[in-house]
Amino acid sequence: MASEEPKMRSIAGKLTPNKLTEREDDFTFNVTYLANRTIKDLCLFAAKNGSKFTASELESAYNDIKAQALIELYSASTVEFGFANNSLGVDGPFIGPKAQFDPTRNSVVLRCSPRSEFKKDLKGISVIVSAVEEGLPVVIKILDVVSGSVNSVLTPGGGLNGEGDRTKIVGEEGKQVGFFFINATDKKETAIPMTSLLRNDPSFFSFIIPSLPAGSYYLEVATQYGGNSKQLLKEVRRNRFPYLLEVSDGGDDRPVIE
């Protein structure tokens, strides 16, 4: 049987200048990710590494537990699942003691906090700084034009105005450049078509937000721009805006239990 104790490893990454502050010696650490593992991958690895269950049995059990976890979560229970404690909350203002839920300004949101047992594990992971990575595109601030919200909300079909550094989208044919929304849950990537890009300058950009399903997203920018439009960087530089952005479903956000 596989050991229940995880193998402590190291994570590596590069430093990139932090454009969100005025200090010239302030850097952020970007982890170099080795792979993207799905539930199916994890079940397969567990089966190969000594589990008494097959990969399909493990995945079936996971799906059963997930379904039950959703029932409990949607019934207003706090649920321990995966690496986090999960609960539902309601965002938005309630004006007056008789205020009711208003889908136009209130939304049900999922709140997750790391389980305490993993905080101890994290202290045992060593961090290797491999280099300082210059020339990364950096998004500094975004404005959702419809809601007027800064660094928090996305309105599909509406406009988005942004400020940044080296965010001009240029690149060789066949290389994946542009702006991308990454679903925080399933990691699905949605590219912004160049036809939706309304402004494309080194320090300012704007585009039409695509039809994104309700959920949480990260914005990433990828370009070969390095400060000179006539001379492209050899490789695409890609970077993530650190704020989590929320898309509401626009209707009654109260969860439904089937």
Q: How far apart are CA 111 and CA 78, in angstroms?
A: 10
Q: Give tens-digit pLDDT for 45-97.
A: 999 999 999 999 999 999 999 999 999 999 999 999 999 999 999 999 999 99
Q: Give tens-digit pLDDT for 229-242.
A: 677 888 898 988 88
Rounded to an integer, the average pLDDT of 101-108 is 93
pLDDT band at 131, cuts 50/70/90?
low
Does residue 6 surpass a pLDDT of 50? Answer: yes
Q: Which two tokens stand for residue 113?
A: 């906090």
Enumerate the domain spans of the chain.
10-84+119-128, 135-247
Q: Give tens-digit pLDDT for 147-181.
A: 999 999 999 999 999 998 889 999 887 789 999 99
Q: How far apart are CA 233 and CA 249, in angstroms?
A: 39
pTM summary value: 0.55
Choose which CATH entry (3.30.420.40, 3.40.50.1820, 2.70.50.70, 3.40.50.2000) describes domain 135-247. 2.70.50.70
Q: What's residue 216's pLDDT? A: 93
- The residue ranking higher by pLDDT, 137 or 207, is 207
Helices (H), 29-164: 39-48, 55-74, 116-122
Does residue 2 surpass a pLDDT of 60? Answer: no
Q: What's residue 254's pLDDT? A: 38
Q: What's residue 231's pLDDT? A: 77
Q: What's residue 162's pLDDT? A: 95
Q: How far apart are CA 192 and CA 208, in angstroms?
A: 8
Rounded to an integer, the average pLDDT of 182-191 is 92
Q: How far apart are CA 132 and CA 119, in angstroms?
A: 27
Q: Give tens-digit pLDDT for 7-36.
A: 557 888 878 777 667 776 788 888 877 777
Kind and range of the H or E element at 178? strand 178-183
Q: Give tens-digit pLDDT for 193-232.
A: 999 999 999 999 999 999 999 999 999 999 999 777 677 8
Does residue 4 surpass a pLDDT of 60? Answer: no
Decide if 194 contacts 231 (C-beta within 8 A). Answer: no
Q: How far apart are CA 233 and CA 225, in angstroms?
A: 6
Does residue 116 surpass a pLDDT of 60? Answer: yes
Decide if 174 contacts 189 (C-beta within 8 A). Answer: no
